[in-house]
Amino acid sequence: MSDPKTVSEVLRQNIQCYSGEPDEIQYVKFAIQLSYLLPFGLLYISFLIKIARKKKDRDLFEDSFFSLQLADGIITLFFLVSDTVFIRLTSYVRPVCEIFVSLLKDPSYILTPYLTLHQYVQLAKMLSTVAMSLNRYTSIVNPVHHKTFWTQHCTKILIAVFTIPLLFVWPVAIGTTSFTPFGGTAIINYERVVPWARTTYVRLIVAVPSFCFTLYSSIVTSSKLRKLGGHMKKVEFSMNMATLFTACGFILVVAVQIAYLADSASNWVENMWLTKIILAATQVSYDFYMLSGPVVLLILDKRMRSSIICCSRKSRKLARKSGSKNTTTVVAVQPLPTITNHSGHSS
């Protein structure tokens, strides 16, 4: 693990927006990522809206798992949007990167709020993954008391998911930041104000116990699923499989992060190809981690998939009815030019 000062020096000496590949190839890579992030993101939003309206469909979304899924979805979407509009954009669109380098390469507090929120969301995502894994673990290991336990403690666990990360991101919040792209990959570097407060250690403090429990619960859950899968409700099986995919994504992210941290800063320049592979693997693993769970849940469970499709169809029907009413109104007031113009503008 490299010393923070060494890392900072290496980054500052090698600030570069050029990745070594033609800009057109970088644009294609960015377009490919947008091609799955946008549709899956919109599908995820529709799913979360349906969960938020679960009072109308209590028989489908009554389980406490969906309260955790709603919180996890908010965290996930915030991370994906913030990561796409800055990190990915500046990594793949070189002209944009060069603009930000000229403005933000010197230490300042301009990027500090962004980096603080980015670190906060990463930690909150880890904890929400643990919460969902715990929810599925108790549903299989202790199904008799599962509902009672989560009815009593679900709100407390959600509060913990959103508050615990605040205890660990304060070192970033008080430090200056600078934009130091390395080999075309966007990197935000921050200067530590408190010498002993290292975000690397913070992430390990949260990630290692989370990793261990997630791995353990995933093994137990998967083994139980093989034995009880045929006797479980379809929705229960779908929720467990979705959580397993999310847990696998989390394990993959932690493994890649450990490989990244284990590599010394001096090797970043000498073995640029390896660094690029690790950074690319980090991005792919995060996408799998963020989106695999809800996608698997919707693929496996027909009722949830149908509920979203029916909801979108109802919205289209209401839009058609509203459009026909507006058309009738326009025809009725057509003799009055001023009112006709106004109605046409509003529609």
Long-range contacts of 322-329 (CB under 8 A, 24+ apart): 323/347
Q: In this model, does residue 318 exceed pLDDT 70?
A: no
Q: What is the pLDDT of residues 257-277, one digit of tens each?
A: 777 666 665 566 666 677 777
Q: Give the tens place of pLDDT for each residue, 137-155.
A: 888 888 888 889 998 999 9
What confidence category does residue 27 fall into, taking pLDDT thresholds of 50, 70 and 90? very high
Confidence (pLDDT) at 338: 36
Pick the residue with more confidence: 245 or 11?
245
Compare 230 and 96 and report the one with higher pLDDT. 96
Point out which residues pair with 64 in neighbouring strands: none
Residue 178, SS3?
Answer: strand
State the average pLDDT over residues 43-58: 75
Cα 264 from Cα 54, distance rounded (Å)? 49
pLDDT on residue 267: 63
Residues across the chain: 347
Q: Where are the domains of the chain?
A: 4-300
CATH number among 2.40.100.10, 1.20.1070.10, 3.40.50.2020, 3.40.50.80, domain 4-300? 1.20.1070.10
Give tens-digit pLDDT for 75-116: 999 999 999 999 999 999 999 999 999 999 889 999 999 999
Answer yes or no: are the C-beta atoms of 166 and 259 closer than 8 Å. Answer: no
DSSP H or E segment with residue 149:
helix 143-163
Q: Examine the pLDDT at 320 and tell me if it is beyond 60.
A: no
Q: Once rounded to an integer, what is the mean pLDDT over residues 198-204?
A: 71
Residue 345: pLDDT band by 50, 70, 90 thresholds? very low
Q: How confident is the model at residue 193 (pLDDT cuts 50, 70, 90)?
A: confident
Average the pLDDT over 208-224 and give the result: 82
Dist CA 326 CA 309 (whole Å): 26
CB-based contact 242:250 (threshold 8 Å): no
Q: How many CB atoms lie within 10 A of CB 96?
A: 15
Query: Which pLDDT does position 271 carry in this prediction?
Result: 66
Q: Are 279 and 185 in contact (CB under 8 A)?
A: yes
- Quote the CA–CA distance of 326 and 323 in Å, as a whole number: 5
> Which residue in 244, 294, 241, 302 sits closest to 51, CA to CA?
294
Quick check: 214 pLDDT over 90? no
Report residue 209's pLDDT band, with 50, 70 and 90 as the boundaries.
Answer: confident
